[in-house]
Amino acid sequence: MENSNNSNNQLQSFISTLKPLALVLLALLIILALPLILQEFGFNFSQKDNLSKISPETETPINSSDSQILFSQVNPEEGYTIKAKYGNIGPKLLESGAIDFEKFKDIYARSGSPLTEEQIKILTQGADKEITVNQDNAHFLLNFFWALGLANKNPILDKGAITKYGQDQIGSFASTGGWTIGTKDTMDFYSKSEIILLNPEQQAKVDEVTNNVFRPCCNNSTAFPDCNHGMALLGVLELMAANDASVSEMYEAAKYFNGFWFPQQYFDLALYFKAKDGLDFKDVDPKIIVGPEYSSGSGFAKTKKWLSDNNLIEKAPQGGGSCGV
C-alpha cells in the first residue's frame, strides 16, 4: 500500500512539472496561429508590406505628371546648347573622307527623317551657329560627332585604351568597323585630320573628363570609345575643350548628350534620383550621374534593379538610338 501511495505521489509530481511546459507550448501555438486567425476575420497581419525598399525618410512618390516633368528635364524641349559652333567641321569631315555625303543623306532619308536644309548646310558649307542638341537633331548629331571623333587626330585614339589590343585590332570595334558611310575605309581616315587642335591644357581637360564619363551600353569610359556613343561624345568634348569650356561645363554637356542619346536609361536614372534622394534630374551633379556608379553598363543595371524592386519601371516617351549608323 505504501508503494502504491509513493507511485501516485511521483505521478502527481511529474504532472505538476509538465504543467508550466505545457502552458509555454500552448502560448507558442497561439502566437503562431494568431496571424492566420486575424486574416480569417479580415485583418492583414503580414509583415511583407512593411519591408519597404524605399526608406520613409527619403521616399518621394512618383506620378504620371512627375514623370513627364522629369523627362522634360532629361530631354528639355529647348535642347541643350554648348559654347561651341559648327564652324567648318562639316566640310572638313567631307574632305577627310569620314563622311560620304550621299550615303549620310540616304541614312536619314530611309529612316523617315530626311536631313533638313540647315543640316545639309552644316555638312556642305559649315555654319556660324552654336550647337544645340534636342530631340529633333539628336540622331544627326550622334553621327556627325561620331565622324568627328573618328577623324580628328588625338592621343586618345593614337595611344589610349582603344589601342590596348594592338593597332591591328582598332578597326574591329563597333565605333570603327561599324562606321560604313565614309568615302574610304575607316582606318584610312582614323585620327588623321587636324580638325580640332588642342593645346596641352585643353587636352588635359579632355583626358580628365573622358576617363570619368561612361555610357549605359558597356563598362567602358569615353576614353575607350569603342562604340558610336563613346566616339561621338569624344568629338563633343574635344570641340568644347578647343573653345575653352571648363571641366564642369564638359561634365554637364556629357550629362545632357547622354540624356538625348540614351533617353530611356537617363529617364530611369532621373526616376531613381527623384524617388530615392528627392532630386530633380537638373539638380543631380553631372560628374556623379555620368560616372561609373550610374552610367556604366553594370552601374546602370544596379539602378534598374532598384527601380524594379520598388515597382518604378516606366517607359520613356521616346526611345534611344542603337550602336549603328
pLDDT at site 67? 85
pLDDT at site 11? 46
CB under 8 Å to 236, separation ≥6 — which residues? 82, 145, 253, 254, 257
| Ordered DSSP codes for 250-276 | HHHHHHHHHHHHSHHHHHHHHHHHHHH
CB under 8 Å to 171, separation ≥6 — which residues? 177, 185, 186, 187, 190
Extract the C-alpha cell encoding 137: 537633331
pLDDT tens sequence across 164-182: 999 999 999 999 999 999 9
Nearest-CA neighbor of 186 among 103, 97, 104? 97
Q: Where exactly are the structural domains of the chain?
A: 2-50, 64-309
pLDDT at site 125? 98
Q: Which helix (H) or strand (E) holds 102?
A: helix 101-111
DSSP state of 85: E
pLDDT at site 313? 86
| Residue ranges, the chain, pLDDT below 50 | 1-3, 5, 11, 14-15, 35, 37-59
CB under 8 Å to 186, separation ≥6 — which residues? 150, 171, 176, 177, 179
179 backbone dihedrals φ, ψ, rounded to 5°: -85, 110
Rounded CA separation 263/250 (Å): 19
Rounded CA separation 321/60 (Å): 30
